[in-house]
Amino acid sequence: MMVEHRDGGARPRRSAPGSARPRRAPGGPRTLVQPARRAAYAVLRAVNESDAYANLLLPRELERAGLSGGDAALATELTYGTLRRLGTYDAVITAAADRDAASIDPPVLDALRLGVHQLMATRVASHAAVNESVALAREASGAGAGGFANAVLRRVARDRPGEWMARVADTARSDDERIGLEAAHPVWIVRALRRALAAEGRADELDDLLDADNVSPRVTMAALPGLAEPDGLRTAYSPVGFRLRSGDPEPLVRESGGTVRVQDEGSQLVALALSRHAPVEPGERWLDLCAGPGGKTALLAAEALAHGARLEANELVPARAGLVRRALEAVPLEVVVHERDGRELAAENRGVYDRILVDAPCTGLGALRRRPEARWRKQPSDVAELAEIQTGLLREAIGALKPGGVVAYVTCSPHLAETAAIVAQVRDELGDAVEELDARAVLRRVSRGALDLPVPESGAGHAQLWPHRHGTDAMFLALLRRRR
């Protein structure tokens, strides 16, 4: 994304309330760093030093710095743009510094990353990108660090971005590594995404998917059915989804009391697939087994309220359970929120529920547009650890169903080891006790518009949504019914 700040990013301005003032750098003169850059740098440091989440921290940092309008937009682009292409920028820094980026002092490395992003992917004036990034490095680690950063960034600024990309691509040891460097995805994720697309006979869509992961998603709203109406540009698929014509969604969310909320369209669709796969009988019992942070729970609660069903929710992490309770405040329905291991809760409630949502903990590879830092944090070993949890949750959830009841198994990941493999394993274990419904047909019935959902080569009934194809997070859905 190319962004040009309205003043070119070079002109110092008076400090607004809460903005950064000139600091005495260790070993250097007073410097003035534009508040937008300082905010972005603060988030980068927290993400890389403390495993903070940029989507949670950045709004607070913008508020603290008193940034709005164009300044907030610049800080947002600098933050997400830098995090999104971190691995590629590290390769550029390694080449420009003649030393491995991993050996550079972390505060200096983050300042370099911020500067390289501005030089390679924005229209910010190069002198502003260099000078203020150098100032951040000097403030963090002293005059020597400032001199080093100055040398590296001026070397990057001498050549065109395309020349640097070609130079970096030439260092790749395989085609997949080259793709990963060019598209800013770790190699193991590139391969996992290709395999998931190939399972649908669509491996040729890989470039489009990687490109979509590097584009900031549009904000999508959900109007809780029966409690609010979509008020804006209707989304292509979700019957409760819409987009604002302009502006910040937060005032509308507050004004609605939470009956209107920000929620990805894919998340809306998979929740509605559970509540609308078949008519609801009054008195049905539903369970959201892995409910945090509560967006799907609120949607299910509104659906339960409209049709006379009862809903329970469960979330293992107390802080996330608090978010679930807050999300449910907008729905006038009594919902008990448990704080248990979902496997234990389901095992203790055999044959109790008519519908269960298992929105399983996963790698989150389907939401890399929203959480760009996740691609650099996750490791292949995470998949195996999560698969054991996912299998246990799905197995126990099926046991907690009444005969004829349905589980929606959902992940925000297209990785086959977290999706089709989990469903296949549990089906093999349970044999004739469970049958898989046609999730693609259900989604098409729920959707407002035609959904391109190819049949996987395995012939299984699950459905996979995609950022490049549907404009949603890459949500996976399987619907499993316990036989009567």
Residues annotated catalytic, as ranges: 412
Cβ atoms of 111 and 117 within 8 Å: the answer is no
The enclosing H or E element of 477 equals strand 476-482
Largest CA distance in the chain: 77
Name the H helices within 51-186. 54-65, 69-84, 86-97, 106-121, 126-141, 143-158, 161-169, 175-183
Q: Which residues pair with 285 in a beta bridge?
A: 310
Q: How far apart are the first and last CA of the chain?
A: 53
What is the C-alpha to C-alpha distance for residues 289 and 267, in angstroms, rounded to an integer?
A: 15
What is the C-alpha to C-alpha distance for residues 35 and 372, in angstroms, rounded to an integer?
A: 22
Cβ atoms of 114 and 136 within 8 Å: the answer is yes
> And the tokens for 68?
């709005």
- Read off the DSSP letter of residue 288: E
CB atoms < 10 A from the CB of 360, how many?
26
Task: Give the phi and the psi of residue 275 in degrees, each rounded to 5.
Answer: -75, -20
> And the tokens for 273?
């697939």
> And the tokens for 93?
């820094």
C-alpha pair distances (Å), 42 with each of 35, 68, 77, 449: 10, 17, 14, 42
Q: How many CA atoms lie within 13 A of 170 on its CB side?
A: 8
